[in-house]
Amino acid sequence: GAVVSQHPSRVICKSGTSVKIECRSLDFQATTMFWYRQFPKQSLMLMATSNEGSKATYEQGVEKDKFLINHASLTLSTLTVTSAHPEDSSFYICSASPGGGPLTTGELFFGEGSRLTVL
Amino acid sequence: GDSVTQMEGPVTLSEEAFLTINCTYTATGYPSLFWYVQYPGEGLQLLLKATKADDKGSNKGFEATYRKETTSFHLEKGSVQVSDSAVYFCALSPPGGTYKYIFGTGTRLKVLA
């Protein structure tokens, strides 16, 4: 199946610094990628939809100035957590689909996830 | 709005036991249904899927049948192994393919040798 890769898999940073997480589709082009946040022992919460060449669409309650998303190419989306604080510590997961445009049977491929710890 | 409800875990079974993880959904129209598995420290992997009523998805001994009449997509496996220990997520994709999946809360499975 299609491969989505995230980097870094783990990152520890000091409070107040910014952290960038990359999400790459390795063997397909993705006009749309998704960013999720997962709290311990909980489900995935969709944070935003990353659109290549345009602004990301954020879900209600997600601070767009806090979580900057850039989708610079058809194979790369980045999530930057700005001025990180301990409450931002979480597992961040991205996903993408090889399909372009709406499909009736969408299948998403997920990255390995990135664990952020803010001290 | 659309939603997915999973049975709460954790579920602890002995090796070779029968597994059922219940999943029901609420949606307009005919969504696609998925089961994803997450191993510790990893992202999600697609386990199986079904795209229309009465479809049966199957993979690695796991099965789930899309039941429109009961709005369910229960996951089953006849004989679990220790390596099946993971968190299982039921999810739906609304009709029209927006990719805005809706996930259940996940069910943690622990299989003991």
Summarize pLDDT for A14-31 with one digit per residue, the tens: 999 999 999 999 988 888
Q: Is the pLDDT of residue B59 over 60?
A: yes
Provide CB contacts within 8 A for B78, sequence distance 6+.
B18, B61
Q: Is the pLDDT of residue A95 over 60?
A: yes
Q: In this predicted model, what pLDDT tens digit does every residue of B70-92 receive, in sequence order?
A: 999 999 999 999 999 999 999 99
Q: Is the pLDDT of residue B40 over 70?
A: yes
Which residue, among A92, A98, A77, A64, has the nearest Cα to A22 in the 3D structure?
A77
Contact by Cβ (8 Å): B86, B60: no
Which residue, among A107, A76, A113, A79, has the nearest Cα to A2 in the 3D structure?
A107
Q: In this predicted model, what pLDDT tens digit does every residue of A63-93 receive, in sequence order?
A: 999 999 999 888 999 999 999 999 999 999 9
Of B36, B99, B103, the CB nearest to A106: B99
- Number of Cβ within 10 Å of residue A58's Cβ equals 18
More confident of the two residues A109 and B19: B19
Task: Spell out which residues of chain A touch residue B36, defining contact as CB-CB under 8 Å.
Answer: 110
B21: left (phi over 0), alpha (psi -120 to 50) or beta: beta
B-proximal residues of A, 50-109, CB under 8 Å: 93, 95, 97, 99, 102-109
CA torsion sign, B46 to B19 to B10 to B72? positive
Q: What's A96's DSSP letter?
A: E
The C-alpha of A67 sits at a distance from chain B's nearest C-alpha, in angstroms, of 19
Res A29: pLDDT: 86
DSSP A18-84: -EEEEEEESSS--SEEEEEEE-TTS-EEEEEEEETTS--EEPTT--TTTEEEEEEETTEEEEEE-S-
Res A44: pLDDT: 85
Spatial distance between the Cα atoms of A10 and B55, rounded to a whole number of angstroms: 39
Of B34, B44, B97, the CB nearest to A102: B97
Q: Which amino acid is at B85?
A: S
User: What average pLDDT does the segment A39-66 reach?
Assistant: 88
Res A1: pLDDT: 62
Task: Mark yes or no for CB contact A104/B97 under 8 Å.
Answer: yes
